[in-house]
Amino acid sequence: MHPLIQYRVAQLLEQDLGDPNHLESTLSFKKVIELDEEEAFPEAELNWLYNWHLQDYYVPVDCGGKFTNFEEFLALVRVLSRRDQTTGIAFTTMFWSFLCWMAGTEEQKQKLAQFMIEEHGTMCLGYSEREHGSDLVNGGLTATKVPGGYLLNGEKWPINRATRSGVTFVLARTDAEGGAKGLSLFMIDKREISNSEYYNLPKILTHGIRGSDMSGIGFNNCFVPDSMLLRQEGDGLEIGLKGFQITRTLCAAFAQGAADTALRTTLNFALKRVVYNKTVFALPQPRKTLVDAFLDILICDCETIGAARGFSVIPEQFSVWSAVVKYFVPTQLEKMVNDVYVVLGSRFYMRDEHDCGIFQKVLRDNSIISMFDGSTVVNLHALMLQFRQLTKYRAKRKPETMAEIKPRLATIFSLQQPAPNFEPEKLELFSRGADDSLQGLEIALQQLEDLRQESNVNQETLEKLINLGKLVLDELNVHDELIAQSKFEFGHEQSPELFEIAKKYCTLHAAACCLHMWIYNRQLLGEFFASGEWLVLSLHRLLRTIRPMPYLISEVYLENVAQELVRLHRENKLFSIVPIQLAQSEINKQEDQTNAITELVHV
Amino acid sequence: MQLQNSSMSNQVVIQNWLIKQLAEQLSLDSATISITEPLTRYGLDSIDAVTMVGDIEDVLDVELPSTLFWDYPTIEKSSQFLAQNYDLSNLNNKADDAHVLEELEETGIEATNSSKGWGGLFSRIKGA
Ligand SMILES: Cc1cc2nc3c(=O)[nH]c(=O)nc-3n(C[C@H](O)[C@H](O)[C@H](O)COP(=O)(O)OP(=O)(O)OC[C@H]3O[C@@H](n4cnc5c(N)ncnc54)[C@H](O)[C@@H]3O)c2cc1C
């Protein structure tokens, strides 16, 4: 069993699902590709997951489920998405239930919990409309008050699982005048509204996640009782935006699952394929590309796992952190998938050649993550509107502020510490300028300095980390000066330049998360993690996108990271700072019979 | 009576300050801003209205509900809510432009070009 308890369930699910390369396993690559070719909804696969009781982990403990913290939840979604994003996304529309856990009455929560756990029910989220995508406030679907409830009119589209879901969360206009208090959120139980008053829109043919039930839902004078309204009339936008803070953060797990498969299948190829009498992996350029891809995953781990834990510690800062994660992780990993396909060569484009053509599917499926649930631009925009306050707050920090940030960072980033319970009522629409991760950068630098006294730390590596850490701080100061001197504008007509500045902020944020993650877990996550060489390369990789840096910082480090990558591949472990044991792989069994026998023993 | 008077005058001070904010932020003539019109009428979007709460918190040094301008969507209503629910006893001093500017600059970064410092906020107050 995994020593970190929050990773045990994911490892259990992983083992029970079995090796995706094994043709007979649940969610095998062969099977998910067939389903994709047929554009068929993964009905049997989802049933398997229900019977496994995965849905319990979407329902908080105090509502009768098994959800305890987001770190555990992310690992589960990752295990699922490494096999198939279509299934992962279809099952995980259940995470919209957080709207109810967050804003529902006791009665609404109990009802939804029972629906999910016992009746294998699921839900969808109806925010977007054909005429209004990102522009939620101007949505056109109306809910008109009548005695005992509301009459709904209008359509939501494109909606994932709109047809195949029992509960639909709908954002509707309750005030014809519009405005921020003009929207309300309904949790509509389809069993309790009249069949004749709603309809579903036809399946939409999509580029990726082709088996998904992408459709829509429309209402014609549809009566919904008052009991389906979440909180008060007019609270829809607030609940919606706070709900996004949760779901946007969780979206990172889809991308991370996909990234693991993209890299793993490319390695399956690169380690075997011989060109010029050498394996592809033995050639310096592909080797470096694959190491960089591995680093991208580790960087995103620090950002995502940090955020998942941060949720319970600093929920009031998540208008910032969720926007950073939802922008940074999916785009970084999308780029990573694009980088490694060069190594896979022509096979990346084939739908049935290498590893059943899973790479091609990953490439297509994964590209939706940065779009849905708030696109890249929407998240950057949400972030930049808070820049002025972030900068001002950072400039105003006093020693007492820093003294408060320090223990919070320790709780967020020490994976061994239990994360406190998540309290959704503490979410806020803006973070009042606080962003512990970047504003605690000086704390991290001091901690690095203190490590100069530690005998178990390689001083040369530490020196490099200190230097790179200082560069991150320099860049953050440059950022703050830039913001302090620029003219702030409200609204949607932000300059393209500010979008670039926002991207840099996210990069610095990721760098800070990497540093914190290392500092608090050096003793916990094994030798490779502790050595910090991956961290040197990661910080260097991030900084290179912001300022001119030498191409390579250390050939030895690169080689050591390459060795670790090969080891994780051989031992079937997740590419992660928490490399959980994956199901035994057929591929490696053939490769190395002796290894396989010892590895068959479950952890 | 005393209390009511002070809350009345607080309300007027904050009302005027909000008008000035809005006028300069949205490049409007302050004479055209009515305290009874919804803020959205002047082109302020819902998320902007949340950001503006942050600005006001900064100057008044109090923590406000982030949905302040959603719940009280006119200058009149929000000023009334502020005056009635918050201790703004030093508001008169604070609303003195020179004083506010000084205070903000103390806390801000030393902007090399201070006329542009703190974007809209500084230049607005300075220009006022
Ligand atoms: C596979 C899939 C699944 C989906 N699932 C769901 C679902 O389950 N529920 C749901 O409600 N919706 C869902 N959507 C809808 C999705 O969330 C919207 O497509 C998304 O919000 C973008 O809306 P839009 O495409 O209408 O773009 P628009 O909002 O029309 O935007 C058009 C373009 O304007 C620009 N733009 C927009 N906002 C800004 C800004 N703030 N700053 C700068 N530029 C901007 C961008 O370049 C954008 O691409 C899904 C979409 C897909 C493709």
pLDDT tens figures, B50-73: 888 888 888 778 889 999 999 999
Which residues on B lie below 8 Å from A180 (Cβ)?
A: 40, 46, 49, 67, 69-70, 73
Of the candidates A225, A199, A201, A223, the one whose C-alpha atom is nearest the C-alpha of residue A213 is A201
Residue-wise pLDDT for B31-53, tens only, equals 888 999 988 888 778 888 888 88
What is the ipTM score, two decimals? Answer: 0.82
Confirm if B64 and B56 have CB atoms less than 8 A apart. Answer: yes
Q: Please, what is the angle between helix A387-396 and helix A459-485, to 10°?
A: 120
Q: Is pLDDT above 60 for A603?
A: no
More confident residue, B3 or A420: A420
The label of the residue with tokens 């630098």 reads A445
| Mean pLDDT (chain A, rounded) | 95
pLDDT of residue B116: 36
Residue A195 has pLDDT above 70, yes or no: yes
Residue A570 has pLDDT above 80, yes or no: yes
Between residues A592 and A209, which one has the greater pLDDT? A209
Report whether pLDDT(B28) > 90. no
Q: Which of B24, B108, B12 is nearest to B59 (CA)?
A: B108
> Percent of chain A at pLDDT above 90?
91
Positive/negative CA dihedral, A442, A445, A447, A453: negative
Residue of the CA atom closest to atom 44 of ligand 1: A377
DSSP letters, A434-465, are: --HHHHTHHHHHHHHHHGGG-TTS-HHHHHHH
Mean pLDDT of A155-180: 95
Q: Which residues of B touch A401 (CB under 8 A)?
A: none
- pLDDT for B111 equals 36
pTM of the model: 0.93
* CA triple A103-A105-A107, angle to 5 deg: 140
pLDDT above 80 for A588: no
Q: What is the pLDDT of residue B102?
A: 44
pLDDT at residue B127 tops 70: no
The Cα-based distances of B58 to A424, A431, B54, B87, B119 in angstroms read 25, 13, 6, 14, 15
What residue's CA is closest to ligand 1, atom 16?
A372
Handedness of CA A370, A375, A380, A386 (dihedral sign): negative
Q: Kindly list the residues from chain B whose CB atom is less than 8 angstroms away from the CB atom of residue A492.
A: 45
* Mean pLDDT confidence for A218-233: 98
Residue B20 banded pLDDT, cuts 50, 70, 90:
confident
Q: Which ligand 1 atom lies nearest to the CA of residue A124?
A: 8
**CA angle A455–A458–A460, rounded 5-degree value:** 130
Q: What local confidence, expressed as pLDDT, does residue B7 receive? A: 62
CB contact under 8 A, B44 and A396: no
Tell me the average pLDDT across A374-383: 94
Q: Are residues B118 and A388, on separate chains, in Cβ contact within 8 Å?
A: yes
Between chains, do B66 and A178 touch, taking CB under 8 Å as contact? no
Check residue A160 and give its pLDDT.
97
SS (H, E, C) A463-506: HHHHHHHHHHHHHHHHHHHHHHHCCCCCCCCCCHHHHHHHHHHH
Query: Dihedrals φ, ψ of A124, to 5°?
Result: -135, 170
User: Shortest CB distance from A429 goes to which of B57, B66, B118?
Assistant: B66
Task: List, for residues A520-559, the tens digit of each pLDDT value.
Answer: 999 999 999 999 999 999 999 999 999 999 999 999 999 9
pLDDT tens sequence across A78-125: 999 999 999 999 999 999 999 999 999 999 999 999 999 999 999 999
Residue B45 has phi, psi (to 5 degrees) of: -80, 160
Question: Is 60 exceeded by the pLDDT of residue B109?
Answer: no
**B84 has a chain A CB within 8 A of its CB:** no
What integer pLDDT is reported at residue A278 of this predicted model?
96
User: Residue of the nearest CA to atom 28 in ligand 1?
Assistant: A133
Q: How far apart are the first and last CA of chain B?
A: 32
To the nearest whole percent, how much of chain A has pLDDT over 70? 97
Judged by a CB distance cut-off of 8 A, whether residue A407 touches chain B is: no
pLDDT confidence of A330, banded at 50, 70, 90? Answer: very high
Distance from CA of B98 to the nearest CA of A (A): 19
Question: B97 pLDDT exceeds 50?
Answer: no
Contact A365, A35 (CB under 8 A): no
What pLDDT is stored for residue B43 in this prediction? 76
**pLDDT band per the 50, 70, 90 thresholds, residue A602:** very low
Ligand 1 site residues, Cβ closer than 6 angstroms: A 124-128, 133-135, 158-160, 206, 214, 368, 371-372, 375, 377-378, 381, 492
Band (pLDDT 50/70/90 cuts) for residue A178 is confident
Say whether pLDDT at A591 is over 60.
Answer: no
Residue B67 in contact with partner chain A when CB distance is under 8 A: yes
Residues 6 or more apart from A138 whose CB is under 8 A from it? A132, A178
Q: Taking CA A301 as the corner, what is the angle to CA A577 and CA A435, rounded to the nearest 5 degrees?
A: 130
| pLDDT at residue A589, as a whole number | 64
Q: Which of A392, A485, A490 sits opposite B48 (nearest CB)?
A: A490
Question: Which is more confidently placed, A490 or B2?
Answer: A490
Q: Are A280 and A343 in contact (CB under 8 A)?
A: yes
SS3 A149: strand
Q: How do residues A279-293 score in pLDDT, each as one tens digit?
A: 999 999 999 999 999
User: Residues 36-65, chain B: which have Cβ within 8 Å of A?
Assistant: 38, 40, 43-54, 57-58, 63
pLDDT of residue B48: 84
Out of B26, B44, B116, whose CB is closest to A485? Answer: B116
Supply the residue whose CA is at minimum distance from atom 26 of ligand 1. A133
Q: How many CB atoms lie within 10 A of CB A452?
A: 11
